[in-house]
Amino acid sequence: MFIPSFDQTHHRYKLANTTTGNQKILKVLGGGSSCVTLLIEDGKSQLVRKIAATQNSSKLDFQRQWLSDHQGYKNIPNVLSFGESEEFSWLDIPYYSDHTPFSKIIHQQSIGKSGDVLEKILSFLSKTIHQEAVAKDDINDGQIYLREKFFNKVDVAQSIRPEYSEIYSSRIISINGNEYLNPITAMKKILDTRPNLKNLTKDQHKIHGDLTVENILIKDNCFLLLDPNNENYMSDIYVELGKVLQSLDGNYESLAEIESNEIQFKNSAISFQEKTYPNVIQLNQFLKQWIYKNYSEEAYQIALFHEVIHFARLLPYKARYSPKNFIVYYLRMTEIINKVGSLWQ
Domain final position from 94, 115, 135? 94
Domain final position from 94, 119, 136? 94
Strand bridging mode 178-181 / 100-101: unpaired
How much is the pTM?
0.92
Q: What is the mean pLDDT of residues 45-49?
A: 92
Which residue would you say has higher pLDDT here, 15 or 281? Answer: 281
Q: Examine the domain organization and report whether 88 and 168 are in the same domain.
A: no
The C-alpha angle with vertex 60 and arms to 26 and 147, in degrees rounded to 5, equals: 130
Q: Write down the pLDDT at residue 13.
A: 55
Q: Write down the pLDDT at residue 154.
A: 98
Q: Is residue 274 part of a domain?
A: yes
Task: Quote the crossing angle between the two packed helices 278-294 and 297-321, to the nearest 10°.
Answer: 140
Range of the domain at 31: 6-94
Q: Examine the domain organization and report whether 165 and 300 are in the same domain.
A: yes
Mean pLDDT of the residues in the chain = 89
Q: What is the percent of the chain with per-residue pLDDT over 90, rounded to a whole number? A: 70
Q: What is the mean pLDDT of residues 1-9?
A: 44
- How many structural domains comprise the chain? 2
Q: Is residue 301 part of a domain?
A: yes
Q: Examine the domain organization and report whether 205 and 86 are in the same domain.
A: no
Q: Write down the pLDDT at residue 15.
A: 44
Which residue would you say has higher pLDDT here, 271 or 345? Answer: 271
> pLDDT-based confidence at 23, cuts 50/70/90?
confident
Label residues 104-125 b or e (16+ Cβ within 10 Å = b): ebbeeeebeebbebbeebbebb
Burial class (CB in 10 A: 0-12, 13-18, 19+), 178: exposed
Q: Examine the domain organization and report whether 129 and 74 are in the same domain.
A: no
Report the CATH number at residue 174. 3.90.1200
pLDDT tens-digit readout, 112-160: 999 999 999 999 999 999 999 987 666 667 888 899 999 999 999 999 9
Which residue would you say has higher pLDDT here, 89 or 319? Answer: 319
Q: Write down the pLDDT at residue 278.
A: 96
Q: Examine the domain organization and report whether 192 and 330 are in the same domain.
A: yes
For residues 345 and 336, give the distance between their C-alpha atoms in angstroms, rounded to a whole number.
Answer: 14
Q: Examine the domain organization and report whether 294 and 197 are in the same domain.
A: yes
Q: Write down the pLDDT at residue 6.
A: 47
Q: What is the mean pLDDT of residues 238-257?
A: 96
Q: What is the mean pLDDT of residues 205-233?
A: 94
Q: Is residue 165 part of a domain?
A: yes
Q: Examine the domain organization and report whether 297 and 197 are in the same domain.
A: yes
Residue 15 CA, distance from chain mean position: 30
Lowest mean pLDDT among 5-19, 56-70, 233-247: 5-19
Lowest mean pLDDT among 112-126, 220-234, 275-289: 220-234
Q: Examine the domain organization and report whether 256 and 109 are in the same domain.
A: yes
3-class SS letters over 119-173: HHHHHHHHHCHHHCECCHHHCCCHHHHHHHHHHHHHHHHHHHCHHHHHHHHCCEE
Report the CATH number at residue 29. 3.30.200.20
The yes-or-no verdict on residue 256 having pLDDT over 70 is yes
Q: Examine the domain organization and report whether 156 and 287 are in the same domain.
A: yes
Q: Examine the domain organization and report whether 12 and 113 are in the same domain.
A: no
> pLDDT-based confidence at 2, cuts 50/70/90?
very low
Q: Examine the domain organization and report whether 230 and 293 are in the same domain.
A: yes
Q: Examine the domain organization and report whether 11 and 69 are in the same domain.
A: yes
For residues 315 and 44, give the distance between their C-alpha atoms in angstroms, rounded to a whole number.
Answer: 41
Domain final position from 47, 78, 94? 94
The yes-or-no verdict on residue 5 having pLDDT over 70 is no
**Most distant CA pair in the chain, distance:** 63
Lowest mean pLDDT among 67-71, 83-87, 209-213, 267-271: 83-87
Q: Is residue 1 part of a domain?
A: no
Residues in contact with 308: Cβ distance below 8 Å, sequence separation at least 6, in sequence order: 150, 183, 187, 333, 336, 337, 340
Q: Is residue 207 part of a domain?
A: yes
Q: Is residue 37 part of a domain?
A: yes
Q: Write down the pLDDT at residue 30.
A: 75
Could you give the count of Cα atoms lying within 13 Å of 158 in the half-sphere of its Cβ?
A: 16
pLDDT tens-digit readout, 306-326: 999 999 999 999 999 899 999
